[in-house]
Amino acid sequence: MDSLRIEVTRGSLVESVHRVSAAVVDADGRLVAAAGNPDLVTFWRSAAKPFQALPLLQDGAVERFGLTREELALACASHSSEPFHLELVDRFMAKVGIDETLLACGPHPPLGAEVAREVARRGTVMTARWSNCSGKHTGLLTLAKHHGWPLTGYERAGHPVQERVLQEIERWTSVPRAELIQAVDGCTTVCFGLPLVAMALAYARFGVSEEPEARRLWAAITDHPELIAGTGRLCTDLMQTWPGEILAKIGAEGVYCAALPTRRIGIAIKVEDGDLRSVGVGLLAVIKQVLGRDAGSEAWLEALAGLADHAEFPVRTTRGATVGQVRAAGRLEFFG
């Protein structure tokens, strides 16, 4: 299998190397391209969020509580805790009739760099709503309230909410429930371990699905990319660059997934050592190589140039001088 890697240079020396495993799968389950180990089993982390949110639509919770597309998008988000994110979390909870004390997630430094600096400067005391996963947790609580299930323990394996989510994970990935590895995510809820090829398959299927609920969720996410991540972050910038043509979702520990429905493919990558500064560089390298093989991709590749700050970025000293770069190297292997 060909090697794809992220190199960190300093001067003329490659100082660090982060290996990448990747799977590019079409909606029929065919492996189109790969790097490293496409069968690598790892945790899906936050890249699973769209499939954790689908039951809100399928089970009627959206209609019952009058949820908007914005609230659906937030249920899939790893948001940056910007003011408009926090305001939407509050509106979402108020609409469902729950409050912050029910959220099982805990606070952490905001994922948005500017927000994190402002929080540190002001000494802001953060609460559960500041979690990048607070939208997901609100969505899971909404599902519990809709069905009359207990609101306590909704985040734990075995709770009816988690059993319902497992049904969707199994359906979209084609991984039998008995083979899905369950553990506790950073936000306290269940996370799922499965092969990269299965993650990519789920995204490929999601991108081309004709199920009304899947189409509605796709539209909610791609119409509101600013809610999925935030200012200056790659998920948001990618979906704003190609409106409606791509869905991208980061996960912790170096996971990233994307769907490109016009090409009927899903992508899943894992930076094997979990380096988060490398993962966006890796995803863009995969996308660029996939597009580079397709006739008629000129406009896409031109737009991709506008994301150059995500595809390669400088290593700087504490005084701001550029002394190296973080860049992608190596190639995917293509099949057929």
Q: Please give the Cα distance from 202 to 198 (Å, whole number).
A: 6
State the pLDDT at residue 240. 96
pLDDT at 206 > cutoff 80: yes
pLDDT at 296 > cutoff 80: no
Q: Please give the Cα distance from 26 to 311 (Å, whole number).
A: 24
Calculate mean pLDDT across residues 253-282.
96
**Residue 317, both tokens:** 């000293």
Give the chain's mean pLDDT.
Answer: 95
State the pLDDT at residue 2. 57
**Residue 150, both tokens:** 């207990």
Q: Please give the Cα distance from 273 to 63 (Å, whole number).
A: 42
* Local confidence band at 299 (pLDDT 50, 70, 90 cut-offs): confident
* Local confidence band at 266 (pLDDT 50, 70, 90 cut-offs): very high
State the pLDDT at residue 305. 86
pLDDT in tens, 70-88: 999 999 999 999 999 999 9
pLDDT at 108 > cutoff 80: yes
Percent of the residues in the chain that have a pLDDT greater than 70, as a whole number: 99
Q: Please give the Cα distance from 27 to 191 (Å, whole number).
A: 24
Calculate mean pLDDT across residues 279-293.
95
**Residue 90, both tokens:** 């509050």
**Residue 230, both tokens:** 């935030």
Yes or no: say if 41 and 181 are a contact pair by the CB < 8 Å rule.
yes
pTM of the model: 0.96
pLDDT at 336 > cutoff 80: no
pLDDT at 150 > cutoff 80: yes
Q: 3: exposed, middle or buried (C-beta count within 10 Å: 0-12, 13-18, 19+)?
A: middle
**Residue 306, both tokens:** 């506008």
What domains sit in the chain, N to C, each tagged with a CATH number?
4-334 (3.40.710)
Calculate mean pLDDT across residues 208-237.
97
pLDDT in tens, 152-182: 999 999 999 999 999 999 999 999 999 999 9
Calculate mean pLDDT across residues 274-284.
95
| Residue with the two structure tokens 């092969």 | 195
pLDDT in tens, 21-45: 999 999 999 999 999 999 999 999 9
State the pLDDT at residue 199. 98
pLDDT at 1 > cutoff 60: no
Q: 227: exposed, middle or buried (C-beta count within 10 Å: 0-12, 13-18, 19+)?
A: buried
